[in-house]
Amino acid sequence: MPTTESKKQMTDDLKRCMEFHGHICPGLVYGYRVAKEAMRLMDLGRAVDEEVVAICENDSCAIDALQVLLGTVAGKGNLIIKDFGKNAYTVLNRSGRQAYRFFRTTNYEYRGEAKADYDRLEAAMSAGTASAADRQNLKRLKVDDLLARPFGDIFTTAEIPFVEPLYAQLDRSEPCACCGEMTMAAKMVRLSDGRQACIPCSQKG
């Protein structure tokens, strides 16, 4: 059983995710559960630099919980989004040279009381009689269920070989030959006349 202290910690962490994301939703809770599990397995804190790297296989709400808790954030080069539309996440720890992938292989199934509530709300949804409160309750039901479940009920965890991810690219900037705006050299495209242009200018033809 979690102690009162760890329960409080859970609540505070989730609250911080909600504040960043703007609302609570099942997607955010998926990310929250993954981040907490990765922190537990690899004894991670929030990354100051790029010591923790997350690879997210979707671009959903879940990513925001990883940004808040793991410090794997969009601007630091340690959040890699591969939008495969999969509820799957890999978290790498450079110092421990460890990597875990979390993924799902089954449809979400409610059990017991939650199942009865779900069936009733779903029936109202498909009959077109669901109220705004019903729709809200359906979302809330999944959030509560996701928070209450043992992690292994939701995600399969696999330790995978650690492959050192590249560090964020640092590069000089040069002016684009067409628009004159400073552009990271590695991101420029060579035009047929040999001049270097930014990507949007190169696509104007």
Can you give the binding site for Zn ion, defined by CB under 5 A? 25, 27-28, 61, 176, 178-179, 198, 201
Task: Please check whether residue 102 is in contact with residue 157, taking contact to mean a CB–CB distance below 8 angstroms.
Answer: yes
Q: Are 143 and 26 in contact (CB under 8 A)?
A: yes
Least distance (Å) from Zn ion to the CB of residue 25?
3
Write the CB contacts of 196 (distance below 8 Å, at least 6 apart in sequence): 174, 176, 177, 185, 188, 189, 190
Closest contact distance (angstroms) between CB of 108 and Zn ion is: 16
Query: Whose Cβ is closer to Zn ion: residue 28's or residue 44's?
Result: 28
Of 38 and 198, the one with the shorter C-beta distance to Zn ion is: 198
Contact call for residues 45 and 164 (beta carbons, < 8 A): no
Smallest gap from Cβ 99 to Zn ion, in A, equals 26
Spatial contact of 162 and 99, defined as CB atoms under 8 Å apart: yes
Residue with Cβ nearer Zn ion (32 or 100): 32
Q: Residue 29: which of 132, 125, 151 has the closest Cα?
A: 151
| Residue (52 or 188) nearer to Zn ion, CB | 188
Helices 26-42 and 132-148 pack at an angle, to 10 degrees, of 10
Q: How far is the CB of 68 from Zn ion (least distance, A)?
A: 13
Q: How far is the CB of 27 from Zn ion (least distance, A)?
A: 5
Alpha-carbon gap, residue 188 to 186, rounded angstroms: 6
- What strands lie across the sheet with 89-93, from one edge to the other? 79-81, 52-56, 89-93, 98-103, 156-159
CB nearer Zn ion, residue 25 or residue 92: 25
